Chains A and B, each alone.
Chain A
Amino acid sequence: MRETLTRLRYRLVPDHVLGEILAKNWIDNAIPFVILLLTLAVLGALIPGLLTLGGLSGLAPQFGEWLLVVLAMTIVMLGGGIDLSVGSVFALSNFVTLALVNMLGWPIPLVMLIALACGAAVGLVNGVLVGYLRLRAFLTTLVTLIIVRSVVDMLILAYAVKVARPVTRSAIWDFISFRHVLGMPVSLVVALTVAIAGHVFLTRLRPGWQILAVGGSRRSAYNAGLPVRRTVAMTYVVSGTLAAAAGIFYASRLNAAGSDTGVGMEVLALTAAVVGGNSLGGGRGSVFKALLGTIIVLIVSNSLIRLSLPTGGSSLVLGLVLLAAVAIDVKWLKNRGKVLSRVYVSPTYMKLGRSPETGEHSSSPYAVNDRLRDVELIGLGEIDGPEDPILDAEGNLYSGTRQGDIIRFLAPDYRRKEVFVHTGGHPLGMAFDREGNLVTCVAGMGVYRIGPDRKAVKLSDQTNRSWFSVIDDSRMRLADDLDIAPDGRIFFSEATIRFDMSEWMVDALESRGNGRIISFDPRSGSTRTVISKLRFPNGICMARDGQSFFFAETWGCSISRYWFDGPKRGTHEVVIPDLPGYPDNINRASDGGYWLALVGMRTPAFDMALRKPGFRKRMVERVAPDSWLFPNMNYGCVVKFDETGRITDCLWDRRGTNHPMITSMREDRGWLYLGGVSNNRIGRYRIPGADPEWTASASYRGDKP
């Protein structure tokens, strides 16, 4: 009863989604978004009419100007700096625009260019000082803030009267000041255009990436050869120009040059940028965050005015908002990884069938013996992680290693070895196609074909993305084993989409069904997921009917058969339901059966833990990883089964020293070659009575069983 409830609970509640969401980049936007909703709720309740269309559209012109200034602040912050001079540049641009238009009557486009150039010039000064002279951004831009502000004050003192005099208005000026495009003021349209361009720039273009790289880690960016100083300087120039653009719109809207123009704007812009979730210190942030922050701060500050708080009240609120935003930002950045590592592993309920008997003198087909005791060893200590050895037509032995190579041991005695090819990932499952090319699954990379000329070609590294997966499962993380159908299609397993190769054992703690089988069709070059939600699908081997293959689910302790052609096309059924251990690779045997490696044996303790997901969850949260209860992977064996799933043979090494963990075995010319993903050797066992002429390729050609 209780177990039924547990089973339902873990079937219905998708625990793993929380960790997957936390691992997403866009989750950084969640906090500012919640803040926005809270702000709207609180202020909307306090101020009647705030959230009506009229109340919001009244803010639109201001919104455009503010957005430009916040974008200016954001781009500098992304590059790891800060620009406090935006408010002064805003005021400077406002004054320059009004002076040139009203006092001197210059043509508007020229005036705009000059105003933008003024902003860019101040930005350039900042950029040279901070970028090239390596001054501290905060103090330096503070000084330029004061200097530019003082200059503007002096200019206003001298020319205030003349500037304020309205002069005949031109069509362009009226358009900018009063007209609406698509129901929005021109300033907002321009600001949104700049925002979209900025988004594309930061996320798609090289200079944008360089800004993020410099902000993320200046030292690494420098060591990687990026032009750090120029990049930093450029962010300030962009910032000055954007602030100046905002100033032009302000001038066109209000036509007034007061000494309080843009005062305190830098604090508002900083607050907006940080509230939106852009990190102080750089490297993390986006245009969208700036947009969110702008909306929040705009609404808050306008509401504060309308609430008519006592003097200093709005300072209090804005200061508290800034502090809270920075505090959340700092703590979020620091703790996100910690939380993620706690909640990412999310075990689920699984009940395995009864484990078959393996007693030495029992009548069980799995009865322990000692037939692997005296295997010959190949490459002892010279090779690390031969997951799936394979032999070519000449009898040379190939195997992947943890270092990313495929090693070739030369026939007939396998004493000489050479690096056949270097892949860069850990080559796992292997198969030869009809043309003699070696096709291999490379963990972390995908499926590769290596010709006899040692040239590696990528066949596939991504498949179709599933619709409702939070994780982007289109890229392959852990392609494991493969086999090739008679028509050339390659079927391969991806063990898990949630963990990398180094953490493959952690997937056992979840036992969810994170894996899938994928097919690659060389004729069309397309890759499709065939079966998903499998519990660590591992070995794949073509059946002899040419229409189906057997596949092993390691954590499911079962072997199934899938039909990709023929009358049962698209269906799969279990062939061996309950193995005594965890199955790995499957390969053909010379007598018409199939060899299967058991990588480890089931234990009653872990079988029980699988039925107690809460226990495993607590263990993952509270206990150090090296003390976790894992499946036993210290002792395995090789079994042989026939088409019906009956076990016909069983090979053990009782001492468990030569091959404590067997991940694969390959029969060739009367020998059985044994591999293990954490072994430092390949074993070779003479199969009594086996056909000395039998090879896998002959079997696949149909010449042999």
Chain B
Amino acid sequence: MRSSAAFVFTQERIVIVITLALFVLFSATLSNFLTAGNILALIQNVSILGILGVAMALAIIGRGIDLSVVATMAVSVAWVLQLSNNGVPIDLAILMGLGLALSIGLANGFLVAYIEIPAIFATLAMGTVAYGFVRSLLLDDNLIYLKGASDTWFEWIGSGQVLGVPNAVLLFGLVALVAHVILRITVAGRFLYAMGDNPVAARSTGVPIRPLILLQYVTSAAIAFIAGVIAATSVDSVETRIARSNLVYDIILVVVIGGVGLSGGKGSIRNVIVGTLMIGVLVNGMTIMNVPYTLQNIIKSLILLGAIIVDSIMNPRDEQTSQQGDI
């Protein structure tokens, strides 16, 4: 136990060191990296990734995964904008959008907990279904603009700032803090770790596994909705086709590279923050260097691959310990 804790700390420290090294490297070599505007933009850009990372971390800690976070985020908030553009009051629209997001989370949880479909497939297919359902039946277009509720408190959520700090960053901090408290202090949080560590043992000791899985995916959908609201109000629009992009892999990258074990039960919100910072610095630097998008994808994928390899070495699975059907 002690050695593994020390090891996780080591991985986290390595990531911090790499982040700092990248930061120093970019500051020294790229003329417009270390400017106040760029640093602010950097943090603002990664806060949404970070919030989604928190959602993903909750799912992964409970030995699941939520590949539908991006779809949930995009379609629920797109619907909010569409409703508000159609004249629905913004607070009601937000409630309806939140309801949509929670329903998607509930459906995920139901499929995983009660139908017992592997989380990776349930959420993958659910993302497709959610996108298809909302896009074909509820939305007029792929790109929904924020028109109905512009210049209101709603738009301020993502674009405003408090004491010079962008709201997005503050909200990232808030979400992270709340999630951290939930994981560390509440019974549900401790049960989540127990379930992720060994679901069978957790069930034997009386942890209500199935309701907990429901809660896990509902929470992750709710956090995705918050991220969506921030993203939409910061650029005044939602592009629903993001649901079919590679963004979800960036989120997994953030979570895994920070040190949250994919086999469940390991890691904390701090790992997500560390991972977010590293990816933020990396992507920002590559963008300034004008690295093509596809090449950026390759670099990020290679880093993710490296992170998974390190993860599998630190949390080894072999023929004796691996679970059947665990892919």
Q: Which residues of A contact B (CB under 8 A)?
A: 80-82, 129, 133-140, 142-143, 146-147, 149-151, 153-154, 157, 217-219, 221-223, 228, 267, 280-282, 309-320, 322-323, 326-327, 330-331, 334
Contact = CB atoms under 8 A, between A and B. Distances in A.
Contacts of A136: 262, 308, 312, 326-327
* The 8 residue pairs across chains A and B that have the minimum distance between CB atoms: A281-B325, A316-B132, A312-B135, A315-B132, A319-B128, A222-B319, A319-B129, A312-B136
Contact of B111 (A138, A154, A316, A327): A327
13 contacts: A80-B324, A81-B327, A82-B327, A134-B317, A143-B249, A221-B319, A280-B325, A311-B136, A312-B136, A313-B136, A315-B136, A316-B132, A322-B121
B136 A326 contact: no
A539 to B, nearest CB: 46
Nearest to A157: B294
Contacts of A151: 294, 298
B324 A280 contact: no
A404 to B, nearest CB: 31
B115 A320 contact: no
Interface residues of B, number: 49
A154 B295 contact: yes
B135 A280 contact: no
Interface string B120-134: 111011111101111
Interface of B: 111, 115-118, 120-122, 124-129, 131-137, 139, 142, 246, 249, 252, 262, 292, 294-295, 297-298, 301-302, 304-305, 308-309, 312, 316-320, 322, 324-327
Contacts of B318: 134
A143 B312 contact: no
A320 B292 CA distance: 36
B133 A326 contact: no
A323 B117 contact: yes
B128 A322 contact: yes
Contact of A134 (B117, B252, B312): B312
A330 B295 contact: no
A186 B98 CA distance: 52
A407 B323 CA distance: 44
A157 B252 CA distance: 28
A146 B303 CA distance: 12
Nearest to A221: B319
Contacts of B139: 312
Contacts of A129: 305, 309
B301 A319 contact: no
B148 to A, nearest CB: 22
Contacts of B132: 312-319
B143 to A, nearest CB: 12
B135 A218 contact: no
Contact of A146 (B125, B127, B297): B297
Given A139-B262, A316-B129, A323-B122, 13 more contacts: A133-B309, A150-B297, A157-B294, A218-B322, A218-B324, A219-B319, A219-B324, A281-B326, A312-B133, A315-B128, A323-B117, A323-B126, A326-B121
Given A218-B322, A219-B322, A143 B301 contact: yes
A217 B262 CA distance: 22
Given A133-B309, A330-B115, A330-B117, A311 B142 contact: yes
Nearest to B262: A136
A137 B121 CA distance: 13
Given A311-B136, A312-B132, A315-B132, A330 B327 contact: no
B135 A311 contact: yes
B128 A280 contact: no
A315 B135 contact: yes
Given A133-B309, A154-B295, A319 B327 contact: no
A477 to B, nearest CB: 29
Contacts of B319: 218-219, 221-223, 228
B238 to A, nearest CB: 14
Contacts of B308: 135-136, 139-140, 143
A257 to B, nearest CB: 15
Nearest to A318: B128
B247 to A, nearest CB: 12
Contact of B125 (A133, A150, A228, A323): A323
Given A150-B298, A309-B136, A320 B304 contact: no
Contacts of B142: 311
Contact of B118 (A146, A153, A281): A281
A64 B137 CA distance: 34
Contact of B309 (A135, A218, A223, A267): A135
Contacts of B312: 133-136
Nearest to A283: B324
A487 to B, nearest CB: 55
Nearest to A151: B298
Interface hub of B133, B297, B327 (most chain A Cβ within 10 A): B327
B129 A320 contact: yes
A584 to B, nearest CB: 44
Contacts of B134: 312
A140 B324 contact: no
Contact of A219 (B128, B137, B246, B320): B320
B55 to A, nearest CB: 17
A40 B204 CA distance: 46
Nearest to B300: A146
Nearest to A80: B327
Contacts of A317: 132
A215 to B, nearest CB: 9
A320 B305 CA distance: 30
A149 B325 CA distance: 27
A157 B294 CA distance: 10
Given A135-B308, A331-B115, A281 B294 contact: no
B199 to A, nearest CB: 16
A586 B134 CA distance: 77
B121 A280 contact: yes
B292 A154 contact: yes
A128 B157 CA distance: 47
B200 to A, nearest CB: 16
A297 to B, nearest CB: 14
Nearest to A328: B115
Contacts of B131: 312, 315-316
Contact of A267 (B128, B298, B325): B128
Contact of A150 (B294, B304, B309, B324): B294
Contacts of B297: 146-147, 149-150
A139 to B, nearest CB: 6
Contacts of A331: 115-116
A704 B231 CA distance: 103
A157 B293 CA distance: 12
B312 to A, nearest CB: 5
Given A134-B317, A146-B246, A267-B128, A316 B115 contact: no
A138 B129 contact: no
Contacts of B262: 136, 139
A322 B118 CA distance: 13
Contacts of A82: 327
Contacts of A221: 319
A446 B210 CA distance: 49
B125 A138 contact: no
A107 to B, nearest CB: 31
Nearest to B133: A316
A154 B325 contact: no
Contact of A143 (B304, B320, B326): B304
B107 to A, nearest CB: 9
A318 B111 CA distance: 16
Contacts of B129: 315-316, 319-320, 323
A140 to B, nearest CB: 7
Contacts of A311: 135-136, 142
Nearest to B321: A219
Given A146-B297, A218-B319, A330-B115, A310 B136 contact: yes
A409 to B, nearest CB: 46
A225 to B, nearest CB: 11
